[in-house]
Each structure stands twice: as structure tokens, then as C-alpha cells.
Amino acid sequence: MKKIILLSAFILSFTFQLFSQSNNFIPAYDTMHRFIRENYPFGQWKAIKWEEIDNRIRPAIVQAASTNDTVAYYLALKRYVASIHDGHVGLKGTGWKAIDSIARYRYIGGSFGFALTEMDDGRLVARLVLPSTPAALAGMQYGAEIISINDQPAKNVRDTVEVLFGDSNPATLECKRMNQDRLVGRAPVGKSMKIKFRNRGSADPVETTIVAVDDHYESFDKTTMGFVEPGPIVSYKILDPEMYGYL
């Protein structure tokens, strides 16, 4: 527990270090990586390959430093955190809020208007199709089976979706897939997607190209793990004088 607290505190102090100087991306990253590699308490148990993570992330850090691109730097750090697969590890501190907003919009600010869920038989179906969105205007309906995306099996594409902006850093494959299912329908504004789907009760699939639009994160917010539709969900009453109650 002590090491976990230290790790969180270090990431917080690292945040302030980043914004106290001009473009110290590389030394800040190197310091962070060395500290986490030496102090993260579950590294051996999870068999984390620190060198592989560093080899994959550091070039992006160097590229961000060369162009002084704080958003690209932030995205590289998000990918670093995602490599650890621990919901308690993340980028904390008020200094990140503005950068996170810019990065999130750059990465998933657009929506095709749908989100998926995986059925027991392995099919991917639309669990959300928002009205007047590209997916809805293309004829997709709730429950439609998604057959392919960009000429690839839908499942293969879903499995490549990064979950940098999910509810938390997924610690399990199941949690990762749940976030991939909600994020596969999001992309940068203006990005196109060739999609093939079949609505329930229809024998003929529909194949079309849709373009992501700014939906103000509606599909993102309505698929968060904590989303609750407004309105009376639970009815209850306390019965006097016994003081028993029911839901």
C-alpha cells in the first residue's frame, strides 16, 4: 500500500514539474519511468515488460518534445499508463484538465452515433443508436449486428480500439472490451468509417460509409459505466406504524 501511495504522489508531483518548466518532456518521462519501474509493487506479479513499454512509448515522447506538442506528450503518457493494466494508476492533478480536454477531443471528439455490446455467441450488436446521427441516418437500428468495419471483421477492429479515455484504466480483458465496445463508435471529427450491418429481422445487410460528427460526447456519456437515465428508477414506501418498507 505504501508503494501505491508513493506512486500516486509521484505522478502528481511529476504533473507540476511538467508545467513549471518549458518542454522538459524527455527528462520528466525518463524520471517517471525509472521511478515506476523500481517502485510499482505489482510489476513482477503482472510480468510487466518495462523495457518493451519504454521502447514503444519513448519515441513518441521524443517526437512530442521535438515539436513541443503537449497534447501528443499527454497521449503518449496515457498509452504508458494503459500498458500497466491497473485501474489505480493514472495521470492525476488539476494541471492535466485542460490538456485532457484537448486531447480527448482530438482523439474521440467525433461520433458515428452508435455503441456496441458483445453477445454470448460472439456477435457484436448495436446497444445504442442515437437519433439523427450518421449511423441512424444510414439506417442502423438498435440491435443491428455489425458485420464489418473498414472491410475487416468487426470483432477484429473492435479489439484494436484503444481505451485511453475509458472510465478508468482497464485492469481486466473484460473491462477493456466493454470500453472498446463503447469507443469503437467514436473517432476524430471528420473521420470516415466504412461499415456493414444487418438490422434485426432483415435478411439483407447494409454497407455504407459514415463520417464522425461532433455530438458533444453524447454517445460517450450515455455509455459510461456510471450513466443512469434521468427519471424515477426505483419506487419505495415506508409503511407506518410498523416502519417496514419496500422497494
Domain ranges of the chain: 2-107, 109-221
The mean predicted confidence, pLDDT, of the chain is 87
Specify whether the CB–CB gap between 157 and 184 falls below 8 A.
Answer: yes
pLDDT at 75 over 90: yes
pLDDT of residue 14: 47
Residue type, 84: I
Q: What is the pLDDT of residues 163-222, one digit of tens each?
A: 999 887 888 889 999 999 999 999 999 999 999 999 999 999 999 999 999 999 999 999
What is the phi/psi pair of residue 139, to 5°?
Answer: 100, 0
CATH fit for domain 109-221, picks 1.10.3720.10, 2.30.30.90, 3.40.50.880, 2.30.42.10: 2.30.42.10
Euclidean distance between CA atoms 111 and 189, whole angstroms: 7
Q: What is the pLDDT of residues 131-158, one digit of tens each?
A: 999 999 999 999 999 999 999 999 999 9
For residues 19-46, give the mean pLDDT: 83
Reported confidence tier of residue 17, pLDDT bands at 50, 70, 90:
very low
